[in-house]
Amino acid sequence: MTKEQKQEVIELLKGKFSQYNNFYITDTEKLSVDQVSKLRRHCFDKNVEMKVAKNTLIKKALESIDSTKYSGIYEALNNVTALLFSENPKEPALIISSFRTESKGDRPVLKAAFINGDVYVGDDQLKALTKIKTKNELIGEVIGLLQAPAQRVIAALLEKAKKEGGVEAAPAE
C-alpha cells in the first residue's frame, strides 16, 4: 500500500468517525469469507456501515481527530479489525448477537465500542449494549411517564361523575 493510498484510507476513516457518534470495533479473524459476506448483508439491511482497515490506519485517523477522546479504544486495535458505524447505538450490538446465535459461534468478538462519547471495552459488554435505550425510546418513556398522572386524574374524575350520574353524552351536532 502506497503512502497516498494509506492517506486516502485515513481520510475516509476520519470522515466516518466524524459522521457517526457510535461505532463498534470487532474481531472477525476466524470468520470464513461466506460468514463475513453474511455479516455485511446483515449490516446493510440494518443501515450499519461495515469497514475493514488496518489497525495503524484506524489509530492514526482517530488520533488526528482527537487523541484523548478516543484513547480508551487504542488498546482494542489488534488482530483483524472490522468497524461498524451506526446512527442507532444498539443496532450493531443486536447484529453481532443475532449473527452469533444464527451461526452458533462466538464470532465476531466485540473488542470495543464508542457510544456517544463513552467507551465500552471487551466482549463482556455486548449484552449491556444490546439493552441500551435509543434517544427515541427514552423520549417515548418520558412522554408515557408524563401522561400517566394526567390519565389517572381524568379516569378518576370520570368515574366519580359516572357514579354521581352527572356524565351525559354531548348532543351530536
Stated pTM of the model? 0.77
* pLDDT per residue as tens digits for the range 113-157: 999 889 999 999 999 898 887 777 777 778 877 877 878 888 888
Q: Do 147 and 80 lie in a common domain?
A: no
Per residue in 60-101, pLDDT tens?
999 999 888 898 899 999 999 999 999 999 999 999 999 999
Per-residue pLDDT, averaged over 42-56, amounts to: 95
The domain containing residue 17 runs over which residues? Answer: 3-132
Buried b (16+ CB within 10 A) or exposed e, 60-81: bbbeeeeeeebeebeebbeeeb
pLDDT in tens, 6-45: 999 999 999 999 999 899 999 998 899 999 999 999 999 9
Question: What is the torsion angle, in degrees rounded to the nearest 10, for the CA atoms of residue 160, residue 162, residue 166 and residue 172?
Answer: 130
CATH number for the domain harbouring residue 115: 3.30.70.1730
Helix (H, G, I), strand (E, B) or coil at 51: strand
- Count of the separate structural domains present in the chain: 2
Mark whether 138 and 128 lie in a shared domain: no
User: Which pLDDT value is given to residue 146?
Assistant: 80
Is 173 a domain residue?
no
Classify residue 110: in a domain, yes or no.
yes
Look at residue 172 and tell me if it is in a domain. no
